Amino acid sequence: MNEPLCTESDRESESRSRRDFLKTAGKGLGTIAVAAQLPGLVACSPADRDVPGEAPRSPQDRPIGFALCGLGGLSTNQIAPALAKTRHARLAGVITGSPAKGEAWAAEHGIPTGNVYHYDGMHEMAGNPDIDVVYVVTPNALHHRHTLAAARAGKHVLIEKPMAVSVTECEEMIGVGRQEGVKLAVAYRLQFEPHHLECMRLAREKEFGDTRVIEAGLAFRIGDPDQWRLKAELAGGGALMDVGIYALQACRYLTGEEPVQLSAVETKTDPVKFSQVDETIAWQMTFPSGAIATCTTSYNVSGINRFRVYGETGWFGMEPAFSYGGLRGQRSDDRPLRFEEVDHFAAEMDDFSLCILEGRESKVAGEEGLRDLRVIERIYESIRLGQSVTL
């Protein structure tokens, strides 16, 4: 087998600071159930899976088999544990550049050795009915390659954000998915999280009147200067593609609109560390309704993790807004905006599994990832041109 991809996230240094930030930013806040849990979002125990000694379930009721492509920190610490909580999904295989890591995962998770694949052998999955979905968790610039390989093997694909590093790549991924008759979705976990769903409802139903202004941002101080996130050929971009996309997504799903004009600026306070990717970007977007969004992202700032929506008669928002847990909502009228915590990754994988079982499209299908990349490319263009641009 080939040498492991140096970009596979099995070096803790490449993801620890970002993962720890998202995991602990809301630590200690806790959540209290003050409203009924939204249907379909609770991460459930796998009680409905096949039980030894009982007749196996029919194929359509069988939990959907996921193969994780990329076995770094996110797969290890978030996705694999989440699969143990899902109702409709299960860990069926892994794809890795490291034979030793594949063997270790197979032993730890009870994965058949025949369901362990190398990146270069993904085409071999075509004859494996045990694997239904490939969850692509490799560095951004490899999403395109691994998605195409999975789709051409006849597997549905769930892709970590950003979907890819360019509009062109996204369009090809969508096209190949359609050609092969498989579903593509982007792992926008917060579109399945109860606090965010409630904020979408508040905005769409205009509980505080028309949305006039949105403020959103996510930033953290990145660690190891040698990690893949700081290499353009692997990351495709810096803070904007990695965490700024959360703020962009929030503005889009809160308004339910696509921006029509934007302007952006970038600053670098450490041109050596951030020589290949963006460090700090601020941008403003105007939407067809007249709403204006102001957003910020950075790889060199701590403490930004929020959004707030200002309507005609009040405001609502979240802080922390984008972490893996401990999310907290607020409203200007002091009414509660608090729900029981769910596992975001379990919720998104259960939803995608149901999309497959029920033959319907995901609300975060590939087109949703494409829309984000269209805006991201225009943000970078605005920075290059030093002026506002239209979409």
**380 in active site:** no
For residue 135, give the nearest of 179, 82, 181, 180 by alpha carbon: 82
Find the helix or strand (DSSP H, E) in which 118 lies: strand 116-118
What is the residue type of 32? I
Distances 264 to 205, 245, 303, 320, 339 between C-alpha atoms, Å: 30, 14, 21, 24, 35
As a whole number of angstroms, the distance between CA 153 and CA 355 comes to 19
Q: Give the separation between CA 296 and CA 280, rounded to whole angstroms.
A: 8
The one-letter amino acid at 385: L
Dist. CA 61–CA 49, nearest whole Å? 9
DSSP assignment string, 291-360:
-EEEEEEESB--S-EEEEEEESS-EEEESS-SSSS---EEETT----------HHHHHHHHHHHHHHHT-
CA 141 – CA 72 distance, rounded (Å) = 15
Given the residues 85, 101, 155, 161, select the one marked as catalytic: 161
Do 277 and 238 touch, CB atoms closer than 8 A? yes
Cis before 162 (ω within 30): yes
Phi, psi of 297 (to 5 degrees): -145, 155
The CA–CA distances, whole Å, from 227 to 37, 79, 281 equal 39, 21, 20
**Which of the following is catalytic: 246, 253, 310, 380?**
246
The C-alpha atoms of residue 319 and residue 325 are separated, in whole angstroms, by 11
CA distance 219 to 247: 10
Q: Clarify whether 161 is annotated catalytic.
A: yes
Catalytic residue annotation: 161, 246
